[in-house]
Structure 1
Amino acid sequence: MAKEFELIMDRVKENETVIIHRHVRPDPDAYGSQLGLQRYLQLKFPDKAIYAVGETEASLDFMGTTDNVNDDLYKDALVIVCDTANAPRISDQRYQDGAHVLKIDHHPATDQYGEVNYVNVDASSTSEIIYDMITHFNDQSIIDAEVARLLYLGIVGDTGRFLFNNTTPHTMHIAAELLKYDFDHMKALNQMAEKDPRLLPFQGYVLQNFELNEQGFAKVQITQDVLEQYELEPNEASLFVNTIADIRDLKIWVFAVDEGNDIRCRIRSKGIVINDVANDFGGGGHPNASGVSVRDWNRFDELATALNNKL
Structure 2
Amino acid sequence: MEKVLNYIKKHDNIIIHRHSRPDMDAIGSQIGLKEAILATYPNKKVYAVGDLNKMSYKAKMDDITDETYASALVIIVDVAVSHLVSDDRYKLAKELIIIDHHTNPTDIECDYFYQRSEYTSACETIVEILKEGN
Shorter chain as denominator, the TM-score bin is over 0.9
Q: Which residue of 2 aligns with 1:29?
A: 25
Matches within 5 A, 1:34-183: 34-62=30-58, 64-111=59-106, 113=108, 114-138=110-134
| Structure 2 counterpart of 1:11, one-letter code | Y
Q: CA RMSD in A?
A: 1.1
Mapped partners of 1:13, 1:85: distance in 2: 22
Deviations 1:251-308 (A, max 9, x none): xxxxxxxxxxxxxxxxxxxxxxxxxxxxxxxxxxxxxxxxxxxxxxxxxxxxxxxxxx
| Structure 1 counterpart of 2:13, one-letter code | T
Mapped partners of 2:50, 2:65: distance in 1: 13
Instruction: Please report how far the alpha carbon of residue 109 of structure 1 lies from its aligned counterpart in structure 2 after TM superposition.
Output: 2.9
User: 1:18 aligned to 2:25?
Assistant: no
Instruction: Please report how far the alpha carbon of residue 74 of structure 1 lies from its aligned counterpart in structure 2 after TM superposition.
Output: 0.3
Instruction: Please report how far the alpha carbon of residue 112 of structure 1 lies from its aligned counterpart in structure 2 after TM superposition.
Output: 5.0
2:57 counterpart SS class: helix
Instruction: Please report how far the alpha carbon of residue 111 of structure 1 lies from its aligned counterpart in structure 2 after TM superposition.
Output: 1.3
Mapped partners of 2:107, 2:31: distance in 1: 22
Higher relative contact order (CA 8 A, sep 6+): 2
Alignment identity in percent? 34
TM-score normalized by structure 2?
0.95
Between Structure 1 and Structure 2, whose CA radius of gyration is higher?
1
| Structure 2 counterpart of 1:28, one-letter code | M
8 Å CA contact 1:104–1:119 kept in 2: the answer is yes
Deviations 1:84-133 (A, max 9, x none): 03111110000010000000000113215221101111101000011111
2:103 counterpart SS class: coil
Instruction: Please report how far the alpha carbon of residue 67 of structure 1 lies from its aligned counterpart in structure 2 after TM superposition.
Output: 0.5
Instruction: Please report how far the alpha carbon of residue 59 of structure 1 lies from its aligned counterpart in structure 2 after TM superposition.
Output: 3.4
Mapped partners of 1:85, 1:98: distance in 2: 16
| Structure 1 counterpart of 2:122, one-letter code | T
8 Å CA contact 1:109–1:119 kept in 2: the answer is no
* Structure 1 residue ranges without an equivalent (≥5): 139-311
1:75 counterpart SS class: helix
Mapped partners of 1:129, 1:59: distance in 2: 21
8 Å CA contact 1:19–1:77 kept in 2: the answer is yes
Mapped partners of 1:32, 1:16: distance in 2: 22
